[in-house]
Structure 1
Amino acid sequence: MNLSESTHTLLSLSQLLSGKVFSTDVRENIRLIRENETQGLCLYVLKEVDQHTEFFEIRELLRKQGHDTSVMWCDREELEKISQQFSAEDEAIAGSSDFQNLNLSLIEEAVSLRGSDIHIRIESKFTSVLYRIDGNLRRMRTESAEWGTRMMNTLFNSMSEQQSHSSLSYNEPCDARVREEFVNSYGLSTCRFASRPGGQGRLAVAIRLVSRRKKSLSFDELGLTPSEENILRRRLSSGGTFYSGPTGHGKSTVCQCSAEFLAVEDTGENFMSVEDPIESPIEGLFQTPRGKQTFGEAIRNMLRMDPDRLYIGEIREADSAIATIEGILTGVSVITTIHNQNPVDILQRLRNFGVELDLLFDPTIISCLVGLRLVPLLCPKCRVPWHVGRESVSPYMRDLVETYAGSEGVYLREPDGCDCCDQSGIRGRIGVFEVIETDNEFMRLYAGKGKLTAYLNWMEKGGVTLCANATRLIKEGRADPVWVHRRICNLDRDARLKMGSEL
């Protein structure tokens, strides 16, 4: 089935057939898809429904309305894949309260604006609502403090699950997960709720919008260069591949796409995951939540399930780090994420977690270290040429940009934006990467002479740093140099690292 939201639309049977209500059994096992170019309709139907009287009724009603509708018979796996690829139009929660609907309207608006997070700041006299769009916080509206309190109480107390407290606390931090049935129609698998009290009734809330990926993204769509893609494809097949970076910069997405690449390459492998929690569906994997086990306990339990490969959602502490290495030692290849500023520091983090040195510096065990950041892309309609906007940049910053990125082809963000970018000056984001393929020389230098010696040697042999890739985007006119310097890495980072390295 070659379906996607760019070429097809999932229609509501109830809405198309004048509000007629069908049984849950039929609704869950039939999907009506419209091909956007031809407007042709096709019913994707579970094979077991072929003799159901309601199915014949649906076909007759569609025929009477003049729809020439074809039928494709599916198994349950194929039908579930369709459900994951599209945001259903008729899955709004019936009987939702006013404040539930207000929360859903915020989520819907944030998604429509390409938001990744919603921030709610309840102050003593007012509430601020902000969306993080393309990496930047944007203030959207101001409401009363009472409005904010009722909104967050409703979201946490009646729309969430896996709450850390029985009800929202204004004295202690709280965590929860918004139930999927509330947000599925917006293309989300959940929203992660986290709060922190500010005292005297004040509260800061961050709501991460977890998108349900509609399709597998290729490595070049993620931002990897051809040479980086070749390294990753080569190294994913054995040992451990570790993805690092700050929160919200796409580690999980890239890791999931890597898992799907491996699963498609060999469907005969037993590929399983341990996640906390399960967020986006990963095609080809049997996904499992951590549950009440620690990550280490879950990984060790998974090793008794005869896996060929493991996807581990995150290494958080010593137990999960050591269990991951134990898994690789059994011959199971692993892909996972870890919070680190730079990929070269992953080894030091694992060392701090207690991984033994002879295992830590073995390139057959830790085979690839990947760092990434998401960089906002300048709106091509309103971006400002460097020679036009350079006077608005501080003298220090002007010198830095012109020294390390030049001025030819460089552009700045238009602060007021245009209609094309919703007055933000930014249109989308792309990843910049640093992919370190470990070998015996890299590990020997790291163990004997330290991190910087190994890293500089990797650079001298042609390794492309995250800073170099970010600078490439600047020179291509796709990224704002000031933003990159402040948010991604100093433009002079590589030059400073190399300074004095020959001594």
Structure 2
Amino acid sequence: MAIIKQIESLYDICGRESILQSDPGGLIPLPSWVADDVVIIGPQKSKTVYLIHSPDSRESQAFYVAATACMDKRVSIAGQLVAESSIIKILKQEKTGSKLTTKTSSASDQILFETLMKEAVAENVSDILIDNSNGRYTVKFDIDTIVRPVRGITRDEAEAMMRHFYQNIADQDVVEDSIFSFDKAQFAAGDGIWNDQKVRVRYQSKPSFPEGCDFSLRLLNLSDSAGFNRYTDLCLSPSQLALFQSMNQTESGAVLVAGITGSGKTTTIKVLIEECLQENPGIQIRTAESPPEYVIRGARQHHVGEDVSGETDVYAETVKELMRMRPDRIYIGEIRSRQTAELFSKAVLSGHGVYTTIHTDSPYEIITRLEGEGVSRDVVSSGNFINGLIYQKRLPRLCNDCKLPLDANTDLNKRLSLLKTDLSGVFTQNPEGCQSCGNSGVRGSIVCMEIVKPNRKMRNALRKKNEQEFYKYWLELGQEAGYGDAVETALYHGLKNMVKGIICPTHIERRFSGLTPLLLKEQTHTWSEDNGFSIPLV
């Protein structure tokens, strides 16, 4: 029998207007020690009810007492439902208007947190989100960039679980405050072992209006067997891979990786650094991260603390300290302030190879963002300051065991005809999924990447703030140097994987926008309305 994990699923069966018949004023009042694990719910003027019990109470005395009470009252049991203890608590709260007042985490709450973490690690969850909506708390899993609700919990369970993590698991050198608070935004990070895998958890809380708090837990698997470690793990095209490798071989200059949160920027940096260290044994690469997300094998990693007072840019201070230690290359976790951007610039100009990440929407916009943080275009466009600009999006992979052929008679198919290419290899997500993908229709994710390595003409275009000229020269350079499809954009490479049956076209449109002539013109380099792509997708 399936276990009910969300209150709405329970109401779909029993009806939202049903009342708690096991309450003291109900048709079948039960002792409080019974009602902790077993409740009875049904319509107000009906002798047909549902008996709802927690997973471990089916053979318990409490279940026997509840079932016997139904028989004594000559009440018909329409069904026996198994619900998580959290759902029974939420049901009692909503039907009686009671409010739980627990302020300390109990052993059961710690077990709930451990169970949640084991389930998340087993399913390769990247983020656990606990969202509050009108007092209801829902746990959601981000799996392969798709967020789905998995269970409901009470406010007190949410608070107790997060307090347990913050005060018992989080590294006390990383937490912003020594005491957990449900009423203020807090950051923390800590490591634990679940399912025999070491996982780093990055915690962020944020109070929500009008009451309550939302939580986000980023899960970073630190086990050697987890994550991407080699160039080939990134699933780049052969031309992209060759460009990626050549960019990483240069000793000086900056490599900047851009994308939204969750796009895999840090993973890409991890691959770049680990490959560089394997190809160049003996060089020293130091990192400044807040906090370190992965174990980068061979690198000397340094945690950057937070100055709650805001009086000191701790990130910038750490970068200064690292530069005095004479590393060959530096990884600055993120350009997050003008002072950090200034030190990034000084590190590059002093001859260091520098890796960093930044939040922008394209390779060209990386330069605009740097300028906004105080790094002049004259500096950015000088000499070999920029070694590589990378922009990426992460999209879910279709499950090979249940993906569906493209339906020819849809509006989507009409939009895909703009590509002017063979669509026989295009597949779509199965909404019901299968056992292989946990009934999600997707399994794993893939990065769609745009890589740019500027030459002199492109640097001049940057200096002049001429984006059109910048990409024109990039195409010319690609043709001269034989870069192939590496000169194309993230959208192009998403479409390339789509026609191979790896990515669903619906996910392409969700991440990039609906396919139109304007989108294809603006976000690819070689598409025309008359001829499609000059660099074929297939």
Q: TM-score range by the shorter chain?
A: 0.7 to 0.9
* 1:151 correspondence with 2:167: no
**C-alpha displacement at 1:296, in angstroms?**
2.0
Report the counterpart of residue 422 of structure 1 in structure 2. Answer: 438
**C-alpha displacement at 1:407, in angstroms?**
2.8
One-letter identity of the residue aligned with 2:155 = A
CA contact (8 A) 1:118 1:131 kept: yes
One-letter identity of the residue aligned with 2:315 = F
**C-alpha displacement at 1:164, in angstroms?**
2.6
- In 2 relative to 1, CA 439–353 (structure 1 residues): closer, same or farther, beyond 3 Å? same
Match of 1:226 among 213, 238, 242: 238
Deviates more, 1:427-436 or 1:168-177: 168-177
Cα separation, 1, equivalents of 2:196 and 2:513: 34
**C-alpha displacement at 1:125, in angstroms?**
4.4
One-letter identity of the residue aligned with 1:232 = F
CA contact (8 A) 1:474 1:480 kept: yes
CA contact (8 A) 2:121 2:195 kept: no
Cα separation, 1, equivalents of 2:513 and 2:387: 25
CA contact (8 A) 1:121 1:129 kept: yes
1:267-315 deviation per Cα after TM superposition (whole angstroms, max 9, x unaligned)? 2212211111122111111111223662222112211112111122111
SS in 1 for 2:208: strand
1:363-397 deviation per Cα after TM superposition (whole angstroms, max 9, x unaligned)? 5011110111212111111111013xx55x5x3x3
Report the counterpart of residue 53 of structure 2 in structure 1. Answer: none
Cα separation, 1, equivalents of 2:528 and 2:501: 32
Report the counterpart of residue 264 of structure 1 in structure 2. Answer: 278
Q: When the two structures are aligned, how many residues end up with a matched partner?
A: 400
* 1:354 correspondence with 2:374: yes
One-letter identity of the residue aligned with 2:520 = D
Report the counterpart of residue 252 of structure 1 in structure 2. Answer: 266
Q: CA RMSD in A?
A: 2.4
One-letter identity of the residue aligned with 1:417 = G
- In 2 relative to 1, CA 184–306 (structure 1 residues): closer, same or farther, beyond 3 Å? farther
Report the counterpart of residue 443 of structure 1 in structure 2. Answer: 459
Cα separation, 2, equivalents of 1:276 and 1:417: 37
Match of 1:472 among 496, 499, 502: 496
CA contact (8 A) 2:398 2:443 kept: yes
Cα separation, 2, equivalents of 1:466 and 1:422: 28
Report the counterpart of residue 98 of structure 1 in structure 2. Answer: 108
Q: Which has the larger radius of gyration?
A: 2
SS in 2 for 1:314: coil
SS in 1 for 2:379: helix
- In 2 relative to 1, CA 228–144 (structure 1 residues): closer, same or farther, beyond 3 Å? same
SS in 2 for 1:334: strand
Matches within 5 A, 1:157-306: 157-160=167-170, 161=172, 162-177=174-189, 179-180=190-191, 182-183=192-193, 186-215=196-225, 217-236=229-248, 237=250, 238-291=252-305, 294-306=314-326
One-letter identity of the residue aligned with 1:399 = K
CA contact (8 A) 2:378 2:463 kept: no
CA contact (8 A) 1:311 1:334 kept: yes
* 1:495 correspondence with 2:521: yes
SS in 1 for 2:291: coil
Cα separation, 1, equivalents of 2:373 and 2:195: 41
Report the counterpart of residue 474 of structure 2 in structure 1. Answer: 458
Cα separation, 1, equivalents of 2:506 and 2:256: 29
Cα separation, 1, equivalents of 2:514 and 2:461: 26
**C-alpha displacement at 1:124, in angstroms?**
4.2
Matches within 5 A, 1:71-110: 97-110=107-120
Report the counterpart of residue 403 of structure 1 in structure 2. Answer: 418
CA contact (8 A) 1:243 1:371 kept: yes
Cα separation, 2, equivalents of 1:363 and 1:228: 23
CA contact (8 A) 1:124 1:145 kept: no
One-letter identity of the residue aligned with 2:434 = C
- In 2 relative to 1, CA 134–101 (structure 1 residues): closer, same or farther, beyond 3 Å? same
One-letter identity of the residue aligned with 2:418 = T
- What percent identity do the matched residue pairs reach? 26
Structure 2: stretches of 5+ with no match in the other structure: 1-104, 307-312, 479-486, 530-538
CA contact (8 A) 2:450 2:489 kept: yes
**C-alpha displacement at 1:175, in angstroms?**
1.6
SS in 1 for 2:126: strand
SS in 2 for 1:155: helix
Report the counterpart of residue 79 of structure 1 in structure 2. Answer: none
Report the counterpart of residue 15 of structure 2 in structure 1. Answer: none
Cα separation, 1, equivalents of 2:236 and 2:423: 25
- In 2 relative to 1, CA 434–163 (structure 1 residues): closer, same or farther, beyond 3 Å? same
Report the counterpart of residue 53 of structure 1 in structure 2. Answer: none
CA contact (8 A) 2:399 2:442 kept: yes
Report the counterpart of residue 80 of structure 1 in structure 2. Answer: none
One-letter identity of the residue aligned with 2:305 = G
Give the structure-2-normalised TM-score: 0.70
CA contact (8 A) 2:118 2:195 kept: no
Deviates more, 1:481-490 or 1:296-305: 481-490
Cα separation, 2, equivalents of 1:256 and 1:135: 20
SS in 2 for 1:408: coil
Give the structure-1-normalised TM-score: 0.74
One-letter identity of the residue aligned with 1:259 = I
Deviates more, 1:151-160 or 1:205-214: 151-160
CA contact (8 A) 1:347 1:360 kept: yes
Report the counterpart of residue 394 of structure 2 in structure 1. Answer: 374
- In 2 relative to 1, CA 271–362 (structure 1 residues): closer, same or farther, beyond 3 Å? same
Cα separation, 2, equivalents of 1:306 and 1:490: 49
Deviates more, 1:434-443 or 1:459-468: 459-468
CA contact (8 A) 1:111 1:186 kept: no
Deviates more, 1:124-133 or 1:251-260: 124-133
Matches within 5 A, 1:33-44: none
One-letter identity of the residue aligned with 1:176 = A
